[in-house]
Chain A
């Protein structure tokens, strides 16, 4: 069966956030923001979308007095991203 391109990863920000989280365990909001080079609002709306799909989980904690939010991919998210990658590769290799 050929994997389908996942619509959830069509946005550049969501794709980027997932790429970063695939290779990092618990990444905080600000690190993610600076890596992806996006605004707070933009990132948080895409993060919420990924969270609603259960692709990522959220951890909130306090560092001193400041709240810190970190993210991690779930099993489901990992699987979905890998399938998406395979789908991309299949599409591209089919063309050659």
Chain B
């Protein structure tokens, strides 16, 4: 006679443990859109490189930024930030909507823990890439961003959906492959930030958001 009550108790325990320790409102749809922005960005960058005077340097992956024209770098940095900002805004809006669906606050302890744990490797990676640029190792920038991004996801995944962990591992693997194949950075960037985001975003959407 009490069976239903016991079932309910177990279900409630499970749901509360999950809700309080993991940020489960991450939206898969935002992953798909971020991936799409990244692909568009990569396409624009590719056009720009082809028309650039420094074409050879991009292919060889080594350059002295003291010597070359800085406008290329400014263009890529602006493009990169543009793609990132657009992705973050989309991610925020969709995740807020999703949080409402699963009745989780967008800004709770689990979200904070996930962000802090992602931010540390990301900041280290950002500084490391600036150092690479400073030394002129532009060919290593793409592999390094993928590697650090993968590590950041892996670290943050303890506090969110498991799919993020798998995405992190995929980004790390891709970063290592890219490190061998210097000169094709843009291709790996498009694969890592574009294709992988779309694939794993779709997987998350399929698993959790589909109605």
Q: Are A and B a genuine interacting pair, yes or no? A: yes
Q: Are B10 and A19 in contact (CB under 8 A)?
A: no
A contact face: mostly helix, strand, loop, or mixed: helix
A95 within 8 A of B: yes
- Is A58 part of the binding interface, using a Cβ–Cβ cutoff of 8 Å? no
Number of A positions contacting B (CB below 8 A): 20
Main secondary structure of the interface of B (DSSP, over half): helix
> For the complex, is B105 an interface residue (Cβ under 8 Å from A)?
yes
Interface residues of B (CB under 8 A from A): 2-3, 6-7, 9-10, 12-13, 16-17, 19-21, 105, 108-109
Interface 9-mer from A45-53, A59-67, A71-79, A85-93:
A85-93
For A32, the closest partner residue in chain B by CB is B20
Q: Which residues of A contact B2 (CB under 8 A)?
A: 91
Top 9 nearest A-B pairs (CB, nearest first) are A19-B16, A20-B20, A23-B21, A19-B13, A23-B17, A88-B6, A19-B17, A16-B16, A35-B20
Q: Are A27 and B20 in contact (CB under 8 A)?
A: yes
Interface residues of A (CB under 8 A from B): 9, 12, 15-16, 19-20, 22-24, 27, 31, 34-36, 85, 88-89, 91-92, 95
> If the complex has contacts A24-B20, A35-B20, A92-B6, are A12 and B109 also in contact, measured as CB distance less than 8 A?
no
Residues of B within 8 A of A22 (CB): 17
